[in-house]
Structure 1
Amino acid sequence: MGTNPRIDVAMEQSIRYLASASPWEAARPEDSRRKWDGAWWHMAALYEMGAAKRIPASAIASAKHLLETQVWQTFVITEKDQPTCEADKRKMDCCHCELAVYYMILMACGCELDHEQPWIREWLLNHQLPDGGLNCNPDAYMGSRKSSIISTLPPLEAILRHTDREFTNREAAFLDEGARYLIEHRLVCAKQDGSVIETDWLKPCFPRFFEYDILRGMSFLAEWSHRRNKPLPVSVLAEGLERLNGFLEAGGVRIGRQVFDPRGPWGGHTFPLLEALSGIGDISPYLTRQLTRIIERMGL
Structure 2
Amino acid sequence: METNQRIRLAIEESIQFLESTSQWETAHGENSRRKWDGAWWHMAALYEMGEVKLIPESVIARAKHLLETKVWRTFVITADDQPTNESDRLKMDCCHCELAVFYMILKAYGCDVDTELPWIREWLLKHQLPDGGLNCEPEAYIHSRKSSIISTLPPLEAILWHTDREFTEQEAAFLDEGARYLIEHRLVCSKQHGGVLDMDWLKPCFPRFFEYDILRGMSFLAEWSRRRNKTLPVDLLVEGVERLKIYIEADGLRIGRQVHDPHGPWGGQTFPLLEALAGLDEVSPYLTGQLDRVIERLGPEYAYALVE
TM-score, normalised by the number of residues in structure 2: 0.94
CA contact (8 A) 1:33 1:41 kept: no
| 1-structure distance, mates of 2:172, 2:281 | 38
2:74 maps to a residue whose letter is: T
Partner of 2:124: 124
Q: Which residue does 1:247 correspond to in 2?
A: 247
SS in 2 for 1:253: strand
After superposition, the C-alpha distances for 1:47-90 in whole angstroms (9 at most, x for unaligned) are 00000111011110111111111111000111111111011111
Q: Deviations over 1:227-282 (max 9, x none)?
A: 11111100110110111111111111100111111111211111100000001001
Residues 21 and 39 in structure 2, CA contact (< 8 A), matched pair in contact too: no
Shift in Å at residue 3 of structure 1?
6.6
SS in 1 for 2:93: coil
Instruction: Measure, in 2, the Cα distance between the counterparts of 1:285 and 1:56.
Output: 24
Distance in 1, Cα, partners of 2:27 & 2:61: 18
CA distance in 1 between counterparts of 2:243 and 2:24 reads 42
Q: Does 1:94 align with 2:119?
A: no
Structure 1 gaps of 5+ residues are none
Task: Provide the residue aligned with 2:8 in structure 1.
Answer: 8
- Identify the residue that residue 297 of structure 1 maps to in structure 2: 297
Matched, 1:77 2:77: yes
Equivalents in 1 of 2:36, 2:235: separation in Å? 36
Secondary structure, counterpart of 2:71 in structure 1: coil
SS in 1 for 2:72: coil
**2: CA distance between counterparts of 1:27 and 1:119?**
18
Instruction: After TM superposition, give the deviation of residue 32 of structure 1 in Å.
Output: 3.9
Structure 1 counterpart of 2:144: 144
Q: CA RMSD in A?
A: 1.4
Query: Could you say what secondary structure the match of 2:253 adopts?
Result: strand
Q: Is the 8 A contact 2:27 2:71 kept in 1?
A: no
Between the aligned partners of 1:21 and 1:128, the Cα distance in structure 2 is 34
1:199 matched residue in structure 2: 199
Question: For residue 260 of structure 1, what is the amino acid of its counterpart?
Answer: H
Report what 1:188 is aligned to: 188
Deviation for aligned residue 1:12: 1.4
Is residue 2:110 matched to residue 1:110? Answer: yes
CA separation of 1:35 and 1:181: change in aligned 2, threshold 3 A: same
Contact 1:95 1:136 in 2 (8 A): yes
Is contact 1:7–1:276 with CA below 8 Å preserved after alignment?
A: yes
Unaligned runs of 5+ in 2: 304-308
Q: Is the 8 A contact 1:29 1:70 kept in 2?
A: no
> In 2, distance between residues paired with 1:27 and 1:68?
11
Contact 2:149–2:212 (CA under 8 A) maintained in structure 1: yes
- Aligned partners of 1:21 and 1:246: how far apart in 2? 41
CA-CA distance at 1:296 after TM superposition: 0.3
> Equivalent pairs: percent with the same residue?
75
Q: Identify the range of structure 1 (234-243 vs 25-34) with the bigger mean alpha-carbon deviation.
A: 25-34
Q: Is the 8 A contact 2:71 2:92 kept in 1?
A: yes
Q: How many residues align?
A: 299
Q: Report how far residue 31 of structure 1 moved.
A: 2.1
Q: Check the 8 A contact 2:27/2:91 in 1, yes or no.
A: no
Structure 1 residue 135 and structure 2 residue 135: aligned?
yes
Separation in structure 1 between the aligned mates of residue 219 and residue 298 of structure 2, nearest angstrom:
11
Equivalent in the alignment of 1:232:
232
Other-structure match for 2:33: 33
Code of the aligned partner of 1:164? D
Q: For structure 1, which segment, 265-274 or 19-28, has the greater mean C-alpha deviation from structure 2 after superposition?
A: 19-28
Is the Cα–Cα contact under 8 Å of residues 184 and 191 in structure 2 kept in the other structure? yes
- 1:76-120: per-residue Cα shift (whole Å, max 9, x none)? 111111111011111111111111011101111111110011100
The residue type paired with residue 37 of structure 2 is D
Q: Secondary structure at the match of 2:15?
A: helix
> Which residue type is aligned with residue 94 of structure 1?
C
Question: Which whole-Å CA distance do the structure 2 matches of 1:152 and 1:251 have between them?
Answer: 31
